[in-house]
Structures are given as C-alpha cells and as structure tokens.
Amino acid sequence: MKDWIAKYIKYLKIERNASAHTLISYQTDLKQFLTFCASQKNIDEHQIDIDSIDRLMIRMWLGALNEDGLKRSTIARKVASVRSFFKYCFTRGGITKNPAHLLIVPKKEKKLPKTIQVDEINRLMNLTEDGTPEGNQDRAILELFYATGIRLSELTNLNTTGLDLNGKQVSVIGKGNKQRIIPLGEKAIDACRKHLQTRSELFDKNTDSDARKALFIAPGGQRMYPKRVQRMVKSYLDKISEVTQKSPHILRHSFATHMLDSGADIRIIKEFLGHADLSATQIYTHTSVERLKNVYSKAHPRAEK
C-alpha cells in the first residue's frame, strides 16, 4: 500500500498539477490512514497489502477520527483523500474492488467568512503612507488583495510582467495552473505604480534572477514569501480591526462581500475569485443576508421587542 500512496502523490503532482498544500494534505491523510491500518492489524506499515483494506477498516478509522474530536471539515477532507486514492488505485489496476466507493463525505459546518468594513479598509490603507520602499510595497500588496480578491499564493507568485497598469488589469495563475485576468481600480494602480518606482531599492546582493522578476520582494532581496505577507497583513489589521481572523484571506472575503453588497453579479465575482464552482462563491450571499438582517433589526421600529 505504501508504494501505491507514493504513486498516487506523484500522479497528483505531475498529472493533476496539484498545489503544494494539496500534496502535503493528501500525503498526511493517507500516511495517517496507513498507520491506523497497521496498528489495527498489528503489523508493520510496509506489510499492509492494499487489497486487504475493506470498507469496515475505513469506517473504523473515521470513527477513531471522530472520537479524537476532529472537526467535520477536517474529517471530510480526509474522507475525500481516501476516496480519491482508492479510486486511483482501482482505475490503475491496483485493487479489484474499491472499498471507498460508497463512502459518504460528512457535511462541513457552514461558517460565514469574516470581513472588515469599508471604513476599516480606508484606515488600513492610510497606515502605509510613509513614502519608503517598504511602505510603498506594503500599500501595493494590501491594495491588490482588496482590489482583486486574489489568493496569497497568487500574490507571491506574481511577476512584474503580470501587471498591465495601462490596461488597468493584472494576470494571475490560480489553482490548476489556470490563468485569469482581473481588473484594477485606480487606487490599486496608483499604489502599484509607486511601488514599481522604488522596488529596485529592495534588492540586495542576494537578489537572484527569480527575485528580479518578482513583483514583491522580501527582506533579504528574495521573492516575497507567504509567511512574510501573513505577518505584514496581521500587523496592519491589528491596528484597525477587532476581527479575530487577521489574515490576507480576510481581504479576499471583504472584496467579495463588498462587491456583492454593491450589486455585483455573483457569477462575475466567481470569475474574479477563480472559483471552479458557483457553490463556492454563494457563501458570500449568506454574509450579505446576515448583514441585511442586522440592518433590519436595528432600523425597523417593530423589529425588536
């Protein structure tokens, strides 16, 4: 079974072009499952024959995960990992019967995405106006997140060639290596233009050819990396908002919610966000409905007792 897991991860990486995050998650889930099977059979992991795994073994594993207090969303992901793995093994002739074929994925808890208000966005942007190369870059990063709703990985992978300031747009590579073009507003364009004027001042002796192509530069002169952006965004959000989730994703959520609140078509927002399915975007309609309910309860004379 261990060999089949290695083949499957290689398949995800090469043929499916899965992200590094997906590869790590699936590998972790399958390794945990393999360890569980070995403990149940009281044998070494290398001795586990993939044909010996039946549906009961999988259900016992899921029961153990539930007893461990894992969230439904985490268990759902692990179920998806196992289902996908055994489907691959079945289609490639590794097993004669798929034990995960009828496995039901637990429904995830629906959590409304956290957002910040428009006035908080304005205060956030104003915090970066110090005129330094670092400040210009911070402003450009924050403006791009809010103006486009792009993911953290998409931002750190951006090159200067992805920006078309005259055309008022940016080209990003999203999940599945899919390219999409997103319009830019004037605030984001101005911020990016100022950053480009001082970007080279962020280079140093360690700046390599990849970093010279990168739109954003980390301290030390290399291409900007996700952890650095996360820390930077949190440091600014700490100063203007009480929201508990202080990550770049909150700017993506705010982008989508504010667009929807202002009348944008949800199908257009789906394209901006790079969602493969409209159902992933519809969570933002719930956010808007909740906001409408709050406004109603505060404004209508007979809404509250």
Catalytic position from the list 180, 212, 275, 291: 275
Q: Residue 252 catalytic? A: yes
Tokens of 138: 């911070």
Catalytic position from the list 88, 146, 236, 284: 284
Catalytic position from the list 252, 253, 258, 270: 252
**Residue 163 CB neighbours (<10 A):** 22
Catalytic position from the list 77, 151, 246, 258: 151
Q: Residue 146 catalytic? A: no
Q: Residue 139 catalytic? A: no
Q: Residue 88 catalytic? A: no
d(CA 80, CA 163): 36
Q: How deeply is 243 buried, as exposed, middle or buried, from its count of CB atoms within 10 A (0-12, 13-18, 19+)?
A: middle
Q: Residue 175 catalytic? A: yes
Of 233, 224, 277, 284, the closest CA to residue 259 belongs to 284
Q: Residue 293 catalytic? A: no
List alpha helices for the chain, DSSP H. 2-14, 20-41, 55-67, 72-91, 118-126, 133-148, 152-156, 186-198, 209-213, 226-240, 248-261, 266-273, 278-281, 283-299
Beta carbons within 8 Å of 301's beta carbon, 6+ residues apart: none
Catalytic position from the list 55, 114, 175, 234: 175
Q: Are 105 and 76 in contact (CB under 8 A)?
A: yes
Catalogue the active-site residues. Answer: 151, 175, 249, 252, 275, 284
